[in-house]
Amino acid sequence: MTSVVQLNPPSWARTDDLDRIRPPLDSSLVQAIGIDIGGTKIAGALVDDDGRILRSERRPTPAGDATAIVDDTVAIVRSLAGEGAIPPVGVVVPGFLDADREQVYYAPNISFREVPLRALLVERLPGVAITIDNDANAAGWAEHRYGVGRGAGDMVLLTIGTGVGGAVVVDDRLLRGGFGVAGEIGHMRLVPDGLPCGCGQRGCVEQYGSGRALLRVAGEIADAGGIGVALAAARQADGALDATNVGRLLVEQDPGALAALRRLGERLGETCASIGAVLDPRLFVFGGGVAAAGELLLEPIRESFRAHVPARGFHPEPEFVIAELVNDAGVVGAADLARTLGL
Ligand SMILES: [Zn+2]
């Protein structure tokens, strides 16, 4: 477990933010179970109120079979709880939920369509406090409570994985919106009439700022020759550009791979400038696989933010940092959402 308690106030924290870091609501609720249902695996953990993982378990996701997913989720919960009473359970999914957090409208990777997930779980786990939420919300919440966003009352998390996920914390609360689907940063329109997106629209941030976009841009640079020569050679040798060979070229500081990452960062910085105009966060946190690039990604993001922010040159600059909890953010956040009901 990588949870780190920061002893000194982070630079972006306001003093009143620090005063508002909440203790657990009820000292009897010190443990909770977090379940993160992903496209390939269901991860579960028993988590204490310091964000530490006490026990964990995972199974492959029976994607496409909602009943089997619920069965496996219940089995993991029972296994993690052991012989004792089952503590509060938070279950998160990669999809859109309704405002009451009862139903999953749409989760493309696990084939959930209008699944009344909370009711299905309550039926199988009677008497247990169950909360469901979006996986990016849980990751953002985990960073806010236990990770790099601890002490930042206003922060935005962008997860740069295959797609782009988002979570928004305003005044120490997750922003859910009027219909429950706020924070879908990946589907903000960045390019009018741009590339088609899985959501049915065009020009979404996800098409320009995701891991998939990085590979597409790397392919374009390979096609153009010049600095793309090593990318072209890797594509030739491996049959395709993927996270592994592009990642290796980034580590080797190949100019073509660096240029592709820079292009991604520029688009993300532009996105953050727009987000800043509405939400004015003090902190932007980047998670997901591509965030492993660290400063190589953050540097173009900062430059592009400066170039695109309204009142350029006269706007205080937020911090741009890499997420801290990475692999555990989903389960840790899910557990804490169950414990605090996502206040
Ligand atoms: Zn979209």
Distance CA 45, CA 33 (A): 6
pTM of the predicted model as reported, rounded to 2 decimal places: 0.86
CA distances from 96 to 71, 104, 315 (A): 21, 6, 33
d(CA 115, CA 187) in angstroms, rounded, equals 22
User: pLDDT of 58-105, one tens digit each?
Assistant: 999 998 889 999 999 999 999 999 988 999 999 999 888 998 899 999
Cα–ligand 1 centroid distance for 202 (angstroms): 7
CA 279 to ligand 1 centroid distance, Å: 20
Distance 179 CA to ligand 1 centre (A): 17
Q: How remote is the CA of residue 203 from the centroid of ligand 1, in Å?
A: 7
**pLDDT the model gives residue 5:** 39
Token pair listed for 81:
């709880």
Mean pLDDT throughout 242-264?
Answer: 96
Q: In 10 A of CB 19, how many CB atoms?
A: 8
**How close is the Cα of 196 to the center of ligand 1, in Å?**
8
3-state DSSP of 51-111: CCEEEEEEEECCCCCHHHHHHHHHHHHHHHHCCCCCCCEEEEECCEECCCCCCEEEEHHHC
- Average per-residue pLDDT for the chain: 89
Give me the sign of the Cα torsion angle 168, 320, 288, 236.
Answer: positive
What does the pLDDT look like over 199-210, one tens digit per residue? Answer: 889 999 999 999
Query: For residue range 149-204, what is the model confidence (pLDDT) as tens digits?
Result: 998 999 999 999 888 999 999 999 999 888 888 999 999 999 999 999 988 899 99
User: Is there a contact between 161 and 144 (Cβ–Cβ < 8 Å)?
Assistant: no
Q: Please tell me whether residue 159 adopts helix, strand or coil conformation.
A: strand
Q: Calculate how far, in angstroms, residue 275's C-alpha sits from the geometric centre of ligand 1.
A: 16
Distance 187 CA to ligand 1 centre (A): 4
CA-atom Rg of the chain in angstroms: 20
What's the average model confidence in pLDDT over 313-326? 90
Beta-carbon-side half-sphere exposure of residue 68 (alpha carbons within 13 Å): 11
Q: What single string gives the DSSP state of each residue in 121-147?
A: HHHHSTT--EEEEEHHHHHHHHHHHHS
